Amino acid sequence: MRIGRVAADAGVNVDTVRYYERQGLIDDPRRVASGYRDYGPEAPRVIRFVKRAQGLGFTLTEIKELLRLRRTRAADRTRVLAVAQAKIETIRAKLRALRSMHDALEALARSCACGDGAPSCPILEALESDDGAGIAPREEGRRHA
């Protein structure tokens, strides 16, 4: 199956197919005499799997592991649950961080009196403050520039 057909069947563009191939997410296609890639019938199914996994927040590294687990015997698949539970905890942590950012920004917006001709802006002051007063704490384990 040629790359255009794989892309159409999977609902992606050809650049996505090439990218997934470079990332090792889909098997390297064989090359026909003309030089065209010839993908197997599994390629669109794997690409749809990758897209769905990405939609759930899995990274390409995690997806590679899921693809590997997809090909193993059933006894090894208990690892799939562990990967899913780890992703759930990552999402929970992100939700907590987003809630904190939301609450801090909402409080700053409520304190704003810019429409009343106030000489200063609490939002800008908080952003300029050396101590970050009024700003949500940084997300744990993440570097900031």
User: pLDDT tens, 72-85?
Assistant: 877 677 899 999 99
On whether the CB atoms of residues 50 and 20 are closer than 8 A, the answer is yes
Q: How many CB atoms lie within 10 A of CB 102?
A: 11
Q: What would the CATH number be for the domain defined by 3-58?
A: 1.10.1660.10
pLDDT of residue 15 exceeding 50? yes
- Please report, as a single letter, which amino acid is at residue 30: R
31/45 Cα distance (integer angstroms): 20
pLDDT of residue 140 exceeding 90? no
Greatest C-alpha distance within the chain: 74
pLDDT digits (tens, 9 = 90+) for 33-75: 998 999 999 999 999 999 999 999 999 999 999 999 988 877 6
Q: What is the pLDDT of residue 60?
A: 96
Two structure tokens written together for 51: 């897209």
Q: What is the pLDDT of residue 121?
A: 84
% of the chain residues with pLDDT over 90 = 63
